[in-house]
Amino acid sequence: MTKAILLTRPLAMNGADQIRFRAQGFGRFYEIPLCEIKQLPITETIKNKINAAEWLFFTSQAPVASVLAVIEKGRRPLIAVIGKKTGEVVRSCGFEVDFVSPQETKKQFVSAWQEKFPMGTSIFYPKSQLADDYIEELLGSENDVSGSVLYHNVFLEERKAELTELLKMDELSAVYFASPSAWKRFLSVYNKTEKYPLVFFAIGDTTKKAINNSGYEAVLFRP
């Protein structure tokens, strides 16, 4: 029987993942986004904070386009990102990337950035309602850090229903997760089913740790 895998990222991001997993022997793909983004309006106050900051920190692709769209003409902020794909989105908006985290965790991101740029500066950090205050707390003593919730990461009711029905079919061999929040949302539904064995793939160490902390094994899968 052809192996089937569930991809949990936004639909537009699954093309390359399908190619990679096909090379791993998977022939059927189900797609149910467990994390969907709802952008929030950027107020004049936030716009001023964005344009006043020397650095912009992007830990996700989600807020990149909306933040860079309000940059004043002729201004070139310094930009730090987690993830090569986030950097690609920045460049597609016509801006350069000045720092890419060597690893895809906020801890490594902050540590490596501090080592390279030890002088105090001003930072604007857009995030979701699920994000913690780690960056603000760690860098706030020596830098002026402004963290603002600019988008909501949501789990739609229709996606919950789709996932419930898919799990009832008992056709999956594996599930692929790109964030701890996607894992937690999957688990909230999975725990209400018969929980047949599945292989769980994680895109990075942070997601793998979240799966492990829930008592499950995870296979690290680097794009």
Asked if 130 and 95 sit in the same domain, the reply is yes
Question: Contact, 10 vs 156, CB < 8 A?
Answer: no
- Give the pLDDT confidence of 113-142 residue by residue, as tens digits: 999 999 999 999 999 999 999 999 999 999
What the block records as the tokens of 166 is 């898919």
Task: Determine contact, residues 175/8, Cβ cutoff 8 Å.
Answer: yes
160 in the same domain as 125:
no
This prediction has a pTM of 0.84
pLDDT at 223 over 80: no
78-91 pLDDT tens trace: 999 998 889 999 99
Q: pLDDT band at 46, cuts 50/70/90?
A: very high
pLDDT, tens only, 138-158: 999 999 999 999 999 999 999
Do 162 and 83 lie in a common domain?
Answer: no
Across the beta sheet with 174-177, the strand order is 26-31, 3-7, 174-177, 199-202, 219-220
The CATH number of the domain holding residue 164 is 3.40.50.10090
Please state the φ and ψ torsions of residue 93, each to the nearest 5 degrees: -90, 0
Looking at residue 199, its pLDDT comes to: 96
Q: Which domain holds residue 208?
A: 3-36+155-220
Q: How far is CA 91 from the centre of its chain?
A: 18
Same domain? For 53 and 122 the reply is yes
Q: Which two tokens stand for residue 131?
A: 């994000």
Shared domain for 126 and 60, answered yes or no, is yes
The verdict on 50 and 115 lying in the same domain is: yes
